[in-house]
């Protein structure tokens, strides 16, 4: 028997091992929860994140068993939660759910986000649905797709919001909610729910994407990057010789261009827990080494500069281009060109893309 909260196999032998439940509770409860889930649900306890090795092979297996795989993508971290590896693992029958639409600027219509995603990733618009678990945007349309199926699953990268979405769906049907917390690793195994329509809906543990910035901070801090009530945006107009710290794990140096007619204008976008800090380039090295994890966040606790292996890459960005730092946020050029040197941990990926937000003409 499995826990109805996190999907782990239940056991009554060792309280120190995941899945533990007292034997009397195992037989007395119609929908038993492991001790870990029980304490999260009833006492709102913070938990130590579990290390779950849910792989792309696991994702492929569950997708092959289902008529449709619903992939939850975080709109604040698109490149960190949707990539070619996930696309190949889910096979041909998938549907993309763009989560956290409530954080997108109100002047940006859902149709614009769908059109952008469709063009950027060569997908039919019919396979894309923006949603918000906060204000219920798009959930009715999503349920129309789900209720037509006999068996389907929710999947995607860690912290994309799968379990929160599942609870939004099943709470409206009077079913016991799954266990959710801010931490990665709350869902430990498959969690199955049968909806009123007869659809079997499966929630799965998140897949770890090693190229995301959140993967290089301690597990207990990862959720802080995108656990946010708002999308932070800050505009800069800078000459060469300035440095912006995009948190403590991303340094952006403004470089001199050959055509210095005017200063470029650009914006940074992230969750509100990410700290931006502007300084002179000549002071940047000292600030980086002394204040990572204190003044410069993330990380959200004191960290040593030398514990990371760093890489630097130069970019020249045009107007209406974004530079995405996977698992952190993105930079958008309003007036270019912008020539920069970006320094981040070796594992983290960066990518140019067409701007997700475009100004009105």
Same domain, 163 and 34: no
Q: In which element (H, E) is residue 43 found?
A: helix 35-43
CA distance 243 to 232: 19
Same domain, 192 and 236: no
pLDDT at residue 107, rounded to an integer: 92
Which CATH number fits the domain that encloses residue 63? 3.40.50.300
In a domain, 361, yes or no: no
> What are residue 33's DSSP bridge partners?
none
Owner of token pair 């869902």: 187
Same domain, 147 and 241: no
pLDDT at residue 332, rounded to an integer: 97
Is 156:86 a contact under the CB 8 Å cutoff?
A: yes
Is 98:72 a contact under the CB 8 Å cutoff?
A: no
The CA-atom distances, in angstroms, between 159 and each of 24, 72, 109, 156, 343 are 33, 10, 24, 9, 25
Burial track 156-173 (b if 16+ CB lie within 10 A, e otherwise): bbbbbbbbbbbbbbbeee
In a domain, 214, yes or no: no
Of the pLDDT bands very low, low, confident and very high (cuts 50, 70, 90), residue 53 is: low
Angle CA 192–193–195, to nearest 5: 150
Same domain, 100 and 170: yes
- The answer, yes or no, to whether residue 295 has pLDDT greater than 50, is yes
SS3 183: coil
- The answer, yes or no, to whether residue 7 has pLDDT greater than 70, is no
List the domain range (segments joined by +) for residue 176: 49-209
CA distance 228 to 130: 18
In a domain, 323, yes or no: yes
Chain mean position to CA 179: 18
Is the pTM for the entire model greater than 0.85? Answer: no
CA distance 358 to 361: 9
Strands 338-345 and 251-254: antiparallel
Q: 56-78, pLDDT tens digit by residue?
A: 888 899 999 999 999 999 999 99
45-59, 143-157, 340-354 — which is least confidently predicted? 45-59
Q: Which of 210, 239, 240, 249 is nearest to 343 (CA)?
A: 249
- The answer, yes or no, to whether residue 17 has pLDDT greater than 90, is no
Owner of token pair 């849910």: 54
Same domain, 168 and 242: no
CA distance 345 to 358: 29
SS3 274: coil
Q: 231-240, pLDDT tens digit by residue?
A: 999 999 999 9
Residues 127-143 have a mean pLDDT of 95
Same domain, 105 and 180: yes
Q: What does the H/E/C string look like for 163-174?
A: HHHHHHHHHCCC
pLDDT at residue 9, rounded to an integer: 73
pLDDT at residue 58, rounded to an integer: 87
pLDDT at residue 13, rounded to an integer: 77
Between 106 and 186, the more confident residue is: 106
Residues 29-48 have a mean pLDDT of 65
pLDDT at residue 46, rounded to an integer: 53
- The answer, yes or no, to whether residue 228 has pLDDT greater than 90, is no
Q: 179-197, pLDDT tens digit by residue?
A: 554 555 555 567 888 899 9
Same domain, 171 and 285: no
pLDDT at residue 313, rounded to an integer: 98
Q: 244-258, pLDDT tens digit by residue?
A: 999 999 999 999 988
Same domain, 156 and 200: yes
Indicate the number of domains in the chain.
3
Residues 262-290 have a mean pLDDT of 96
- The answer, yes or no, to whether residue 26 has pLDDT greater than 90, is no
- The answer, yes or no, to whether residue 176 has pLDDT greater than 70, is no
Half-sphere exposure of 263 (CA within 13 A, CB side): 11
CA distance 68 to 64: 9
Residues 10-19 have a mean pLDDT of 73
Q: What is the CA radius of gyration of the chain?
A: 22
Between 303 and 226, the more confident residue is: 303
The alpha carbon torsion through 116, 117, 123, 125 (nearest 10 deg) reads: -70
Residues 148-175 have a mean pLDDT of 86
Same domain, 313 and 191: no
Of the pLDDT bands very low, low, confident and very high (cuts 50, 70, 90), residue 361 is: very low
Same domain, 284 and 179: no
32-41, 55-64, 102-111 — which is least confidently predicted? 32-41
Average pLDDT along the chain: 87
């Amino acid at each position: 028997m499995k826990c109805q909260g996190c999907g782990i196999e239940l056991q009554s032998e060792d309280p120190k091992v995941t899945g533990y439940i007292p034997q009397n509770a195992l037989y007395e409860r119609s929908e038993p929860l492991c001790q870990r889930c029980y304490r999260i649900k009833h006492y709102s306890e913070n938990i130590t994140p579990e290390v779950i090795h849910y792989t792309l092979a696991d994702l492929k297996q569950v997708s092959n068993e289902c008529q449709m795989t619903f992939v939850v993508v975080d709109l604040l971290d698109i490149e960190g939660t949707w990539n070619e590896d996930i696309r190949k693992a889910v096979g041909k029958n998938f549907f993309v759910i763009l989560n956290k639409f409530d954080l997108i600027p109100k002047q940006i219509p859902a149709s614009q986000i769908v059109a952008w995603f469709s063009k950027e990733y060569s997908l039919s618009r019919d396979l894309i649905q923006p949603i918000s678990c906060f204000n219920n945007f798009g959930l009715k349309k999503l349920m129309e797709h789900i209720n037509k199926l006999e068996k389907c699953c929710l999947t995607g990268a860690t912290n994309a919001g799968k379990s929160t979405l599942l609870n939004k769906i099943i709470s409206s049907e009077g079913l016991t909610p799954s266990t959710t917390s801010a931490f990665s690793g709350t869902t430990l195994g498959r969690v199955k729910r049968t909806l009123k329509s007869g659809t079997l809906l499966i929630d799965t543990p998140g897949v770890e994407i090693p190229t995301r910035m959140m993967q290089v901070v301690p597990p207990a801090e990862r959720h802080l990057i995108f656990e946010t009530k708002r999308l932070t945006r800050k505009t800069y107009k800078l000459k060469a010789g300035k440095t912006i710290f995009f948190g403590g794990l991303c340094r952006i140096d403004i470089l001199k261009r050959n055509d210095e007619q005017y200063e470029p204008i650009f914006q940074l976008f992230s969750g509100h827990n990410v700290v931006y800090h502007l300084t002179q380039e000549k002071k940047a090295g000292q600030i980086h080494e002394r204040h990572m994890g204190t003044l410069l966040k993330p990380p959200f606790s004191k960290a040593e500069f030398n514990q990371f292996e760093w890489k630097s890459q130069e970019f020249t960005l045009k107007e209406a281009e974004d530079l995405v730092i996977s698992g952190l946020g993105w930079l958008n050029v309003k007036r270019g060109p912008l020539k920069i040197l970006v320094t981040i941990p070796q594992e983290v990926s960066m990518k140019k893309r067409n701007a997700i937000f475009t100004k009105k003409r």
